[in-house]
């Protein structure tokens, strides 16, 4: 019955990798520990497919965790990178490309009049927080349990024993002082947010407006509007972390989709078209507090890098109305197919979707917060993922992530995926 994956060369590489890289990887989720196997080493990608070092080809639903909305080795992106690289890769001085990209982002994202680029989402989130603190003259932050804003010390926090009190570090090496100014409340819980806003002088309410780092858990009706109201009433800034959702769920991200406009927005992933780039932005008034226009210090050797700006412009040029419509229908086909495949095999799952994002929760009840996500059957999810890999489908190897369909996944690849998912569900039923 079962099929197994040929992975001799991946295993060889892994045994070398663990000698030099902690856990054999440069970012933990790649180790595939949470689905109970060793990492798969990738050799190349084309469109929606990747091929590993053992010659296995997969339909890829990680797509580098979001940046590759146009798929792998998109010809326009590759050509843009080649052309720019031939004239030099970095100058530490301004170039036209970063102005073009900034203009394009500001045109698309409602709340961004002006922005500052960085090399990673973590850096952009960290800098947005510094700006929010400077603008408000306050220190305390509110974040939601299960949301991810990068690995900065202050946000590697979990709720302490009492609600609306100071939080505890989630990682060794993070001082308690670093998380003391972070309040963590459950997602989708209006009362908890109201209480925390009343009990603290907040500099910022930080939110992944469509959280996708605990699996995809959309906001309940009116929740984002409530956050906007509470921020206005209390004088806190509302910060949307749209590192995943930006340029994905709609051209202008969740803020466009939901019509709730934040004060500051953090973008990344798709922004750099597969090269390192992220940014934070907002009104001219707020952003001109940043140096050298203002005195909030923030800098970066490779920020606004010409290769990343060129790669980032290509998706914006190709990712038009028609492309979003196509992504919406691809997402729907995928989600419906996965739902039906699970039902046929009698495996209880909750399939959640928004344009460009899908999560299959191994849960028999709707997941509305992090506690719900944590209650999923992660063992069975892991076994299902291993079965998918053996059948040519590369899912995100964790229950707490989303699938990233792209605009280049075609109907043949979707059929293959849904058929593989059905067989995999049958194996774990």
Ligand X SMILES: *Cc1c(COP(=O)(O)O)cnc(C)c1O
Closest-by-Cβ residue to ligand X is: 121
Output the smallest distance, CB 122 to ligand X, in A: 3
Q: Which of 35, 278, 360, 421 binds ligand X (CB under 6 A)?
A: 278
**377 counts as catalytic:** no
Count of residues of this chain found to bind ligand X when the rule CB under 6 A is applied: 14
Out of 60, 241, 369, 377, pick the active-site residue: 241
**241 counts as catalytic:** yes
Q: Does 354 bind ligand X (CB under 6 A)?
A: no
Q: Does 319 bind ligand X (CB under 6 A)?
A: no
Q: Which of 184, 216, 243, 352 binds ligand X (CB under 6 A)?
A: 243
Q: Which of 154, 253, 268, 397 binds ligand X (CB under 6 A)?
A: 268
Site track for ligand X across 201-220, x = CB under 6 A: -------x----x-------
Q: Which is nearer to ligand X, 112 or 390 (CB)?
A: 112
3-state SS string for the chain: CCCCCCCHHHHHHHHHHHHHCHHHCCCHHHHCHHHCCCCCCEEEEEECEEEECCCCEEEECCHHHCCCCCCECCHHHHHHHHHHHCCCCCCCCCCHHHHHHHHHHHHHCCCCCEEEEECCHHHHHHHHHHHHHHHHCCCEEEEECCCCCCCCHHHCEECCCCCCCCCEECCCCCCHHHHCCEEEECCCCHHHHHHHHHHCCEEEEEECCCCCCCCCCCCCCCHHHHHHHHHHHHCCEEEEECCCCCCCCCCCHHHHHHCCCCCEEEECHHHHECECCEEEEECHHHHCCECCCCCECCCCCCCCCHHHHHHHHHHHHHCCHHHHHHHHHHHHHHHHHHHHHHHHHCCCCEEEEECCEEEEECCCCCCCCHHHHHCCCHHHHHHHHHHHHHCCEECCCCCCCCECCCCCCCHHHHHHHHHHHHHHHHHHC
Output the smallest distance, CB 120 to ligand X, in A: 4
**148 counts as catalytic:** yes
Q: Does 149 bind ligand X (CB under 6 A)?
A: yes
Interface of this chain with ligand X, residues 108 to 127, rule: CB under 6 A: 120-122, 125
Q: Which is nearer to ligand X, 122 or 331 (CB)?
A: 122
Q: Does 148 bind ligand X (CB under 6 A)?
A: yes
Q: Which is nearer to ligand X, 121 or 304 (CB)?
A: 121
- Contact segment (CB under 6 A) with ligand X among 30-38, 146-154, 361-369, 406-414 equals 146-154
Q: Which is nearer to ligand X, 315 or 422 (CB)?
A: 315
Output the smallest distance, CB 245 to ligand X, in A: 8
Out of 14, 58, 148, 324, pick the active-site residue: 148
Q: Which residues of the chain form contacts with ligand X (CB under 6 A)?
A: 120-122, 125, 148-150, 208, 213, 241, 243-244, 268, 278
Q: Which residues are catalytic?
A: 148, 241, 269
């Amino acid at each position: 019955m079962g099929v197994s994956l040929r992975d001799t060369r991946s295993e060889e590489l892994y045994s070398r990798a663990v000698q030099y890289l902690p856990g054999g990887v440069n970012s933990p989720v790649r180790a595939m520990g949470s689905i109970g196997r060793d990492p798969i080493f990738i050799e190349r990608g084309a469109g929606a497919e990747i091929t590993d070092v053992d010659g296995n080809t997969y339909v890829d639903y990680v797509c580098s965790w979001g940046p590759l909305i146009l798929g792998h080795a998109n010809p326009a992106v590759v050509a843009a990178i080649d052309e720019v690289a031939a004239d030099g890769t970095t100058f530490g001085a301004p170039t036209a490309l970063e102005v073009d990209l900034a203009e394009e982002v500001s045109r698309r994202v409602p709340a961004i009049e002006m922005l500052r680029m960085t090399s990673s989402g973590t850096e952009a989130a960290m800098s947005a927080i510094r700006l929010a603190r400077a603008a408000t003259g306050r220190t305390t932050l509110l974040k939601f349990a299960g949301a991810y804003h990068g690995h900065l010390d202050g946000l590697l926090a979990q709720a302490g024993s009492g609600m609306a009190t100071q939080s505890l570090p989630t990682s060794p090496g993070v001082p308690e002082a670093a998380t003391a100014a972070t309040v963590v409340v459950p997602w989708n819980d209006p009362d908890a947010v109201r209480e925390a806003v009343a009990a603290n002088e907040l500099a910022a309410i930080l939110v992944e407006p469509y959280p996708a780092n605990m699996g995809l858990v959309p906001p309940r009706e009116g929740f984002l509007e409530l956050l906007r109201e509470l921020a206005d009433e209390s004088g806190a800034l509302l910060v949307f972390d749209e590192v995943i959702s930006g340029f994905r769920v709609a051209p202008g991200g969740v803020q466009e989709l939901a019509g709730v406009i934040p004060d500051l927005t953090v973008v990344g992933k798709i922004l750099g078209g597969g090269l390192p780039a992220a940014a934070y932005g907002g009104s001219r008034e707020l952003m001109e507090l940043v140096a050298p226009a203002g005195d909030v210090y923030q800098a970066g050797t490779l920020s606004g890098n010409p290769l990343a700006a060129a790669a980032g412009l290509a998706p914006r040029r190709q990712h038009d109305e028609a492309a979003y419509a196509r992504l919406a229908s691809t997402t729907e086909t995928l989600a419906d197919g996965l739902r039906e495949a699970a039902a046929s095999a009698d495996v209880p799952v909750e399939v959640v979707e928004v344009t460009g994002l899908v999560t299959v929760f191994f849960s028999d009840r709707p997941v509305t917060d992090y506690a719900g996500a944590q209650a999923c059957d992660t063992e069975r999810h892991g076994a299902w993922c291993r079965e998918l890999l053996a059948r040519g489908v590369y899912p995100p190897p964790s229950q707490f992530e989303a699938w990233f369909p792209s605009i280049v996944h075609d109907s043949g690849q979707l059929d293959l995926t849904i058929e593989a998912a059905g067989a995999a569900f049958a194996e774990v039923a």
